[in-house]
Amino acid sequence: MTPIDSTQWILPTVIKIAIMIGFLINVAALLTWLDRRQSAMMQDRIGPNRAVLKIGKFELRVAGLLHTAADGLKFFFKEDFVPPNADKLLFGLAPILAMMPVLALVAVIPMGDTVFPHLLWRHTDHGWVFPAISRLGVEAGRFGGHAIELAVAPLSSGILFIFALAGQGIVGAAIAGWSSDNKFSLMGALRAASQMVSYEVTIGLSLAGAFMLYGTVRLDDMVRWQGENCWGIFAQPAAFFLFFASAVAESKRIPFDLPEAESELVSGYFTEYSGMKFGMFYFAEYMEVVTSSMLLVTIFLGGWQLPFFHRDGITIAVGDWVVVHQVIPHIWMSIVGVVVFFGKVLAVCVFQAFVRWSLPRFRYDQLMKLGWRVLLPLSLGNLFVTGCVILALDKPSVDLAAGLKVAADLSQLAVALVITIFVLRGIVGFSSPARRSRWIVGTSAEFADARGGTETGPMQA
């Protein structure tokens, strides 16, 4: 690729930063609303609906979305309390150390494939033309243009940069608990530090197998490998589940929220925090959910790739049998890739909300045993098996290579069918009227139902 001057890369970089940070912050805010709505639905109670915007006699509730805005405003106006014996410098520095690494993580995560601006559109004597590019990419310099990577900082170190920054969150939690001069905060900080260190080991080892398979630590190259072969969830199924469980534990959310267990430690390492400092800790956890979802999508769920969607268009093929080949302009494939990436991230975030409200909290000894005695040995076993398979398939025969290609294409076909089914079921579900059914669970509920039910007062809206 040809070098470009500063005026050519500043604007694209600013746009990429605005997109990634804007998505991260807004989705994290929506997750606070989703947690409330999801818990209300699963517990059969009214969710967020009290924050109302009144315009004359008209009340605007927006499905409870105003609660998120109201919470954000309250954080700014609440008292910023600092314990008298706290370390003032470290007490104020801890929320920054907890939040900034999460924001910096998105710098190396690609939101789409490489874009060639000079090939997005072209004016000819017959009007505007939207050309396509080759499936395996083009050399930008050959066309007198340059390429734009759809990552803020497409570093060659890739995932290693993420490992380096992710460990900084431990420092923020530990400093917050120690500097607060509170025994509950200190206990929560010790729990948070030991939990995050323990599960980061599993995260690193679970991803090591993926590095060996992909042959690179660059995140964009991992996505391209998945587009030409199969998604990482099929190539590394054990690593996918190990990474997901460890990522949930790393974000310190239910069922792994032991560092801030209310029944034991009040609020854990941020017990003494109030105002916007507490808001930074609170918001950082939701942003961790988004960044972990981005990594999961990039490494195991194909990133910006859809089954049979490539740089040059749509090619539905199984082995050497090509069913459909439709060339699509580069501009549309680039837009589709970005939309697909963010759509996958949203889906994984919603799934994590289901996990939060579906599982009970572990005891702390159970949490540590799960990490060191279950997940860590499994990640080491997955690493060993991956190495053996790679060595066994180092130089496959022609028939074996063709069989692996057919298996990869069939996995893409299976993903395409599953996505289609989910989309159709979603359309049918949202268009169908809501139905309520009563479930009788437990002996006391059966006795109450047999006596005509229980009387409840009107719920306040």
Which pairs count as long-range contacts for 130-135, CB under 8 Å and 24+ apart, including other chains?
130/329, 130/330, 130/331, 130/332, 131/329, 131/330, 132/312, 132/313, 132/327, 132/328, 132/329, 132/330, 132/333, 133/311, 133/312, 133/330, 134/311, 134/312, 135/310, 135/311, 135/312, 135/315
Of 271-275, 342-346, 372-376, 421-425, which range is least confident? Answer: 271-275
Which tens digit of pLDDT belongs to each residue from 54-70? 777 777 777 777 877 88
Other C-beta atoms lying within 10 Å of the C-beta of residue 96: 13
- CA-CA distance, 79 to 89, in Å (whole number)? 18
State the chain's mean pLDDT as an integer: 81
* H-run or E-run covering 363: none
Pairing of the two strands 122-124 and 127-129: antiparallel
pLDDT score of 380: 92
pTM value is 0.84
8 Å CB contact between 304 and 340: yes
Whole-angstrom distance, CA of residue 110 vs CA of residue 345? 12
What DSSP element (H or E) covers 184? helix 183-214
pLDDT digits (tens, 9 = 90+) for 214-259: 888 888 889 988 888 888 899 889 999 999 988 888 888 778 877 7
Give whichever of 23-37, 126-140, 263-277, 389-403 has the largest mean pLDDT: 23-37
User: How confident is the model over 123-135, as pLDDT tens digits?
Assistant: 666 666 666 777 7
pLDDT tens, residue by residue, 203-213: 888 888 888 88
pLDDT digits 0-9 by tens, 274-315: 888 888 888 888 888 899 899 999 999 988 888 888 888 888
What residue type is 428 in one-letter code? V
* Domain segments of the chain as ranges: 6-428
The first and second tokens of residue 57, run together, are 């006699």
Kindly tell me if the per-residue pLDDT of 2 is higher than 60: no
Which pLDDT does position 381 carry in this prediction? 92
How many residues appear in the chain? Answer: 461
Inter-residue contact 312 to 127 (CB < 8 Å): no
Query: Within a 10 A sphere around the Cβ of 270, how many other Cβ atoms?
Result: 27
Q: What percent of the chain has a predicted confidence (pLDDT) above 70?
A: 86
Residue 98 has pLDDT above 90, yes or no: no
In the prediction, which pLDDT does 142 show?
Answer: 45
For residues 423-443, one letter each, b for 16 or more C-beta atoms within 10 angstroms of the residue's C-beta and e for the rest, the string is: eeeeeeeeeeeeeeeeeeeee
Q: Is the backbone of residue 133 left (phi > 0), alpha (psi -120 to 50) or beta?
A: beta
Q: Give the N- to C-terminal CA distance of the chain in Å, as an integer.
A: 60
